Structure 1
């Protein structure tokens, strides 16, 4: 079997390679080499021109850009007022509810007025007593005046009696002992005048040195009036009113029957008529920023709303300086961190910001009015 297979097998003959004449090969290679030589400079120029064009275009846009400085680290701010009572007491009435819009002067809640009404009645009684006392002082002053007049009359009579006795003794008509009684009477009258003057001075001092003073100008009456006014104020403060217009919130802690201490915050009031934006710019973005520059503000909650405003002020220090525990960089283990300063933006039309709420995220773009080229060279490109 092996021998038969070998006899029947036909030998496989490989095809002969195609031989190209040398002349024809040179003719084909010549144009290819020529084309290769022609494409070389064009490709190099294109390869160099594209990066140069990109660099030139980027440089142009960089030099003519930089007019707007923006940040998304910005938040809507509104004045937040803590609502508390000026007097202590138990809450008897709550007149507002959570997130209610209120006007200035609206009653928020009331405190039991009974103890303060009693204090007011006592203060008014004290004021009336002080005014009665003033009238008594006037009577005392008039009495002291009458006493002084009587004492002066008595002194005059005693002085005349003494003078007559003295002449009689000097002429030898009476003994010198006759002067003893009249001298004692004269001294007593003199002392009476002195005492009467002291009583009159005391009565005048009680009337603040002015006998004709009005009762309401007497210090004792003024003190009583101040106590009465203080009691009236405390009674009025039992009705806690809104200090400004806005939206009241955090009312959950305020309930009827609850005891309220003086000065304890019971709720918060967000003033809706005073809105601004605090934008925290990097310190590297502050070049060219100044008060009065126009600003465009967009709020994340209302993408289609664009608000116009102006730079109102630039923070006096970075945020880290106002932290409770400022960073201490005196050690060698220190990493430089770009700091941020707060730029306050006032809105031109506050009515457009009626839908804004304190704490909303915003995007702020400040128009510095100068491109990067103008900032660098001081002239327009």
Structure 2
């Protein structure tokens, strides 16, 4: 005998209802709290982890070709501006400088002879004019003799032979006068021709001397450039040069990085750029130090284009299978130098950047005022002045230029660039053995 099953609605579980209510309330509170946090905090920040340390990587490349005889540093070493990094064999450059100096000396002497010829030619003109005056007197005397004898020939007081002799002397005097006048004209033309090569300039300003002097400057600079010096303070990286290597001009030998002047390049999505402005403060963290170390900086500028726009192979968006990809724009962020000293960064390290966008009254683009030089070096400034001093010494030593005429003491040759220790000893011994000129 079967008993019919009866289904009765089970009364609700009060504990379960309370749990569901609590969970719902908790979710609601969390949502409200997150909304408030987003509105009050997150809404005022833009962040990205697509950020990296950037810096000026200065490539050390020679301006002249040469054979490496000395390497003064190595990877990871710190160098100061002006420190010698690499030396080339200076023998060929020294020979070229000696040849250029010899050519300049010869040119100065040749030009000096042109100026000396002016005085000689002026003296010749004076002598020719004196000859012309003497011949003119003789011609006038012969002319007077003929004039006196002409009426006497008719009366027979003067013989015909004597009269013919007087006419012959007059003709000879006339020929001498023409020849003397031609000699004066030729001497004046020769002086004028010589003065066209010397007029208006001094010896050291003469075109031939200037041309030869430029070759001396070129050879002197080539000798100085056999020493490659550090243009900035920094750390050596990627040294590839080796001893004995024959290096062509422009070959990269090593790199220098100034780690005290690095910056951050944060790549923000294009949808994040709306409220980014120049000057907004930025908090940053480096993966190498973790979240315990925080850097502070500010936005220096926003990139003029997306990263894809400057790619080696730009994207071809005018194709049928185009897929939209969110673009990123590089934003340059400067760091606090004191924090860099305490916690140095290396180029290429990953960073996380968070920009405070609560104030949007700044610029999105830099103003049009002229910006100061972002980087410069003075280590090469002395090369030109030293080359000029070398030229002046050669000119003065060969009697040209105002310095040679007005100097109260003998001209002393300026110190040549010493590229090797042996060269230094040779220069010292030469200066001791040869008296100053």
Q: Would you call these one fold, judging by a TM-score over 0.5?
A: yes
Change (3 A) 1:183 1:328: farther
Aligned in 2, Cα 1:160/1:300: closer, same or farther, shift over 3 Å?
A: same
1:215-258 Cα offsets, whole Å, 9 max, x none, are: 3222222222222222222222222211111111222x322111
The structure with the greater share of residues assigned to strand is 1
> What pairs with 1:249-328 in structure 2 (closer than 5 Å)?
249-251=237-239, 253-303=240-290, 304-328=292-316
Shift of 1:161: 4.8
Give 1:342 shift.
0.7
Question: Is 1:147 equivalent to 2:134 in the alignment?
Answer: no
| Contact in 2 for aligned 1:308/1:349 (Cα 8 Å) | no
The reply to whether residue 359 of structure 1 matches residue 348 of structure 2 is yes
> What is the SS of the residue equivalent to 2:275?
coil
Q: Shift of residue 359 of structure 1?
A: 0.3
Where do 1:1-381 residues align within 5 Å? 57-64=33-40, 65-162=42-139, 180-207=171-198, 209-210=199-200, 213-251=201-239, 253-303=240-290, 304-349=292-337, 352-353=340-341, 355-370=344-359
1:245-302 Cα distance to aligned partner (Å, 9 max, x none): 1111222x32211111111111111122321111111111011212111111211111
Number of corresponding residues: 335
Residues 182-226 of structure 1 deviation map (CA, whole Å, 9 limit, x = unaligned)? 44333323322222122112222332x14xx54322222222222
Shift in alpha-carbon separation, 1:49–1:168, aligned structure 2, 3 A: farther
Whole-angstrom distance in 1 between the partners of 2:189 and 2:307: 71
For residues 139 and 236 of structure 1, the distance between their equivalents in structure 2, rounded to whole angstroms, comes to 36
Tell me which structure has the larger Cα radius of gyration: 1
Secondary structure of the 2:276 match is: coil
Q: Does the 8 Å contact 1:245/1:272 carry over to 2?
A: no
The separation in 2 between residues aligned to 1:313 and 1:15, in whole angstroms, is 88
Give me the TM-score of the superposition, normalised by structure 1.
Answer: 0.76
Judge which range, 195-204 or 60-69, deviates more: 60-69
Report the Cα offset of residue 138 of structure 1.
2.1
Deviation of 1:47 (Å)? 11
How much does 1:16 deviate? 9.7
Structure 2: any 5+ residue segments left out of the alignment?
13-17, 152-162, 361-437
Report if the CA contact (8 A) 1:103-1:246 is conserved. yes
Between the aligned partners of 1:48 and 1:260, the Cα distance in structure 2 is: 75
